Chain A
């Protein structure tokens, strides 16, 4: 959106009077867009944002995700927002087993159907199908002495997974609104009802031993962050995050191949992950206004007690024209493997010439062959095109290409991301 001189003057006046909301008050991931707030601080209208995401992995998952969001800021600075998401997934997902020289047959999670994976191909479970609905609400109160409280919640449901999240936040402005301290806490409770019940961890796939009909977990997040205006054209954010998950963190549909002495698949074990995970993130972001264009750079470091370390670098350049913009996007991500990640498990004779058993030396108490816990590199290259229609109505298109690569064949994945967005005042 381009502002004319009159609007800029109005903004400056609003800032002087202290009525313009500060940047970056929300640290919540689910918090909705504050875009256009500054220009429309006291509007009586709702900002509506609609979007449709189409995500398509080559030979694997396809997702279609419509989103509808509405937000309103009152004259006193309080704000309310809602968001509804529908997420429809079809396709196939890697079941954890390694690629073999012979065909492999698996029964689906329900036990009623089975699928055979041809020799040399990635074992994909094609019984994968899911529809998820999610709804969230976020509220922030009337700012007082630069202090704002906020609260929100999110519910989400899919056929084997229900989730409930509540969050609370506090922000305090200092230094002529140039510095904002943000504190946030979020607690998520999840209920998992695996199709065909959860398997007994580390049990043989051929035994089909079940553990429970339902499982659950709790994820608690704490965040502290600072948003700082550096100068007339630069703003930065620095966040520290701590998250602890406890409960059922295993993927009930993933197995680990047990290979014979010749490398042939003998059987599979159901995976088992630790029942807790603590992770820490450091996040830095800077947004800089050039003559007309805007550059945005962010970096995230993550470290957890599963042994995973990751680096994420994200870069946007917004090339601004009169009534439209073109925004290229680059993202690079690298992670190291979890301590309990194994490509497969091996067997060895217990005594020379004796029966074959899974080598105790290679069987940790926890094990997973999920490639998402392995050494992994990913790249995203994309471009967004946005155009301003009448009265601050914006239409945008985003096309991106996402690529994953790792040490195994299942980790090699290509995906296309396409998104249409339409936002307007109502």
Chain B
């Protein structure tokens, strides 16, 4: 299993990672990002009290974000990052 080369199970138990995932031909970049996440990060389902609060939604306040994206798209040379970079506007 490729994962045992990258992350020895003795040191970094792949807690909660479905076995079918490991070794699947996902993008290398995705693997690099996902594998460390499968170590000791995260919580048990009964520890989600704070995370479940609407204000903890990582992409919450979408109306604010959409307004901001539109303003900064038309005033600066950068866009995207959190989401797609298209603006759908002429913004001359």
Contacts and interface: CB of A to CB of B under 8 A. Distances in A.
A binds B: yes
Interface of A: 1, 3, 8, 11-12, 15-16, 20, 23-24, 26-39, 49, 51, 53, 55, 65, 67, 69, 83, 85, 87, 93, 128, 130, 132, 134, 154, 156, 158, 160-161, 163, 165, 167, 174-179, 181, 183-184, 186, 188, 190, 192, 219, 221, 223-224, 226-233, 235-241, 243, 251-254, 279, 281-283, 285, 287, 289, 294, 298, 300, 302, 306, 308, 310, 312, 318, 320, 325, 333, 335, 338, 372-373, 376, 378, 384, 398, 402, 404, 413, 417, 419, 421, 423
Interface of B: 15-18, 21, 27, 29-30, 33-34, 37-38, 41-67, 69-72, 75-78, 80-86, 88-90, 92
B46 A12 contact: yes
B41 A283 contact: no
B89 A87 contact: yes
Give chain A's interface secondary structure class: strand
Contacts of B38: 174-175, 179
B43 A31 contact: no
Q: Which 9 A-B pairs have the closest CB atoms?
A: A29-B83, A178-B42, A161-B90, A283-B81, A33-B62, A300-B81, A156-B88, A163-B88, A175-B16
Contact of A226 (B16, B34, B71): B34
Contacts of A239: 81-82
Give chain B's interface secondary structure class: loop
Question: Which of B51, B55, B56, B70 neighbours the largest number of chain A CB atoms within 10 Å of its CB?
Answer: B51
A251 B86 contact: no
A73 B7 CA distance: 38
B38 to A, nearest CB: 5
B85 A279 contact: yes
Given A24-B59, A279-B85, A229 B80 contact: no
Contact of B29 (A93, A240, A413): A240
A176 B42 contact: yes
A36 B80 CA distance: 25
Contacts of A219: 85-86
Contacts of A398: 64
Given A31-B83, A51-B67, A224-B30, A12 B48 contact: yes
B55 A38 contact: no
Nearest to A57: B75
Nearest to B73: A29
Question: Which of B34, B58, B61 neighbours the largest number of chain A CB atoms within 10 Å of its CB?
Answer: B58
Nearest to B47: A232
Contacts of B88: 134, 154, 156, 163, 165, 188, 190
Contacts of A176: 16, 42-45
A421 B47 CA distance: 32
Contact of A67 (B18, B63, B71): B63
A51 B37 CA distance: 37
B52 to A, nearest CB: 4
Contacts of A15: 45-46, 48, 52
B51 A229 contact: yes
Nearest to B49: A8
A178 B86 contact: no
Question: Which of B37, B89, B92 neighbours the largest number of chain A CB atoms within 10 Å of its CB?
Answer: B92
Contacts of A241: 80-81, 84-85
Given A11-B48, A32-B62, A398-B64, A174 B37 contact: yes
Question: Which of A38, A65, A238 neighbours the largest number of chain B CB atoms within 10 Å of its CB?
Answer: A38
B50 A223 contact: no
Contacts of B82: 27, 29, 237, 239, 283, 285, 298, 300
Contact of B37 (A38, A228, A294, A312): A228
Given A39-B54, A51-B63, A181 B76 contact: no
A36 B71 contact: no
Contact of A221 (B45, B46, B72, B84): B84
B56 A289 contact: yes
B90 A158 contact: yes
B92 to A, nearest CB: 5
A214 B86 CA distance: 20
A163 B50 CA distance: 40
A31 B62 contact: yes
